[in-house]
Structures are given as C-alpha cells and as structure tokens.
Amino acid sequence: MAPDMHRLADDLAAETAVLRALLAPLDDAGWDAPTPAEGWAVRDQVSHLAHFDAAAVQSATEPDAFRAALAELTGSGIDPDAIAAGYRGLEPSALIAWFDDARERLVAVFRDLDPGVRVPWYGPPMSAASSLTARIMETWAHGQDVADTVGVTREPTGRLRHVAHIGVRALPFSYLLRDRPVPEVPVRVELTAPSGQTWEWGPEDAADRVTGPALDFCLLVTQRRHRDDTALRITGPVATEWLTIAQAFAGVPGGGRKPLTT
C-alpha cells in the first residue's frame, strides 16, 4: 500500500504543534539558551528546521535549482554549524515567522504530491513520502533538544513509528557515511510502541536483535541519547556495532551524545 501523503502531512503538522507549544513561552533569553547539541542554542534548532524545510520545498518544486545549489556544496559538504551561524542575527520574532512560513509551505506542497515521485536531496534522491517522513523525524529530534532545554517531558505518540522506521532503514547509510562496509547480516528490531503494540522490522529468525521501548530507539538513532541511557536490549555483534554509529539524519557523521549516567 502506498504511503498516505495527507496522513504524513497531518502527522508533521501535529509534531510541529508540539514544538510550537515549547517555543511559545520563550523570551529572548530563552531563544538563546544552550541546548544539549554542543554550540547550539534554541534558535539554532529552529533555524535548522526552517532552512531545510525551505530546501525540501525547493527539491520538490524546483529540482534543477536544488541540484545546482547542491553541486556548489560538493567540495565543502553540508556544515550544520555554519548554517546555524548564518541565521543568528535574526530576531526571535523574525525567526519564528520564517519557520512558520517555511513549515506551512512544506506541508502544503507535499500534501498533494505523488508519494512515489523522486526528489533530490543531500545524498541519494528520496521518494516524496520519505522526504516528508524525514521532516517528521527532524522535527521530533530537534524538538527533543528544545524540550530538554526547557525541562519538559513530551508525551510519546504513535508518530514515533516514522522516526523508528527511518532509523531502521538508515542502517546502510550509517555505515556508508563512515566508509565502513555494510553488513550482510540482517537485524531484527522489535519495539514497544507508546500504545503497547509491537513494531517489527527484519526477519523473525535473525540472530542479531534490538528490542525495547520505541522511544529509546528513536532517541538513540537520532543521537539524542547515549546507548547506555536507554533500556534497549541488543544482541549480536552487528546489532551492537550498528547502534554505536546509528544515524537517522543526513549530513556529516554525528558524534552522538555523552552518557547522562555513569
């Protein structure tokens, strides 16, 4: 069954509303508060989302222009820190207005796209459905940094399935990004959803396995928590290695997070 773009767009809008509720009470000092991402304030989390929302819209509506812009980055690659620094002169009111506008346009453009149409991106082209799902993942992940900064625990929802799915599908990418051979051994992933249901990927008889809370898996593959701070149960050398480098997001290899517990 083809992905439902309207449902994906609705899920992105819902995840956006959660983030906006975290941002709404912030004063100027709150926008400049440091987040768990080293060197990044709350404002940088939001400008990152807005920047790549605009890029996603261009990839869908002006693919040739997107490819041309991407070609100019071939030598230096994508530098998230440099992108963040470029927007630090924006006032909070201008930054949130930009994010709201970019996100509204993104949802409107992608809602009615054919889910299978290929759009260029920073790496292999993706289907429109995968691109929109990635925006859900990014919103949730950067929203986690904001939530941690302001001391709010978000209620996990079924939208975590989008994040978990990308995390599982990104196993080969996590290896290729680090110039490592992609393992041929399959990994079984069984996660307990917020509803209590089980989400499953991979063959049932795989010796390498990952089981545990979906929330913890999502925090790990988006590099928002260290593996030691999760309740995941990891069996087998391939599963163990994968979850030391797992990365659900594009760009340069992430360094992960330090353990919160010792």
pLDDT at 5: 97
Give dist(CA 194, CA 30) in Å, integer: 30
Task: Output the domain CATH number for residue 209.
Answer: 3.30.1050
Query: Same domain for 108 and 20?
Result: yes
User: Which of 115-119, 121-125, 198-202 comes out lowest in average pLDDT?
Assistant: 121-125
pLDDT at 90: 97
Query: Same domain for 123 and 189?
Result: no
pLDDT at 78: 78
pLDDT over 70 at 183, yes or no:
yes
Sheet of 208-213, strand order: 198-201, 187-192, 208-213, 233-235
pLDDT at 254: 83
pLDDT over 70 at 124, yes or no:
yes
Backbone angles phi, psi at 93, to 5 degrees: -65, -40
The stretch 184-192 carries a mean pLDDT of 97
Residue range(s) defining the domain that contains residue 181: 161-245
Give dist(CA 162, CA 133) in Å, integer: 6
Query: Same domain for 86 and 215?
Result: no
pLDDT over 70 at 21, yes or no:
yes
What confidence category does residue 116 fall into, taking pLDDT thresholds of 50, 70 and 90? Answer: very high
The backbone region for 64, taken as left when phi is positive above 0, alpha when psi lies in -120 to 50, beta otherwise, is: alpha
Q: How much is the pTM?
A: 0.95
pLDDT at 222: 98
What confidence category does residue 159 fall into, taking pLDDT thresholds of 50, 70 and 90? Answer: very high
Q: How many CA atoms lie within 13 A of 197 on its CB side?
A: 7
Give dist(CA 84, CA 78) in Å, integer: 11
pLDDT tens column, 164-182: 999 999 999 999 999 999 9
pLDDT tens column, 64-104: 999 998 888 755 567 889 999 999 999 999 999 999 999 99
Query: Same domain for 13 and 141?
Result: yes
The stretch 7-23 carries a mean pLDDT of 98
The residue ranking higher by pLDDT, 77 or 17, is 17
How many distinct structural domains can be found in the chain? 2
Beta-carbon contacts of residue 195 (< 8 Å; ≥ 6 apart):
158
Query: Same domain for 181 and 74?
Result: no
pLDDT over 60 at 55, yes or no:
yes
Cα separations (Å) of 182 from 168, 175, 200?
13, 6, 21
Query: Same domain for 147 and 172?
Result: no
Q: Are 163 and 137 in contact (CB under 8 A)?
A: yes
Task: Output the domain CATH number for residue 139.
Answer: 1.20.120.450
Query: Same domain for 13 and 136?
Result: yes
Query: Same domain for 42 and 97?
Result: yes
In a domain, 233, yes or no: yes
In a domain, 185, yes or no: yes
Q: Any bridge partners for residue 189, and if so which?
A: 201, 210
Query: Same domain for 145 and 22?
Result: yes
pLDDT tens column, 217-261: 999 999 999 999 999 999 999 999 999 999 999 877 888 888 886
In a domain, 56, yes or no: yes
The stretch 182-210 carries a mean pLDDT of 98
In a domain, 255, yes or no: no
Q: Pseudo-torsion of CA 138, 44, 217, 229, nearest 10°?
A: 180
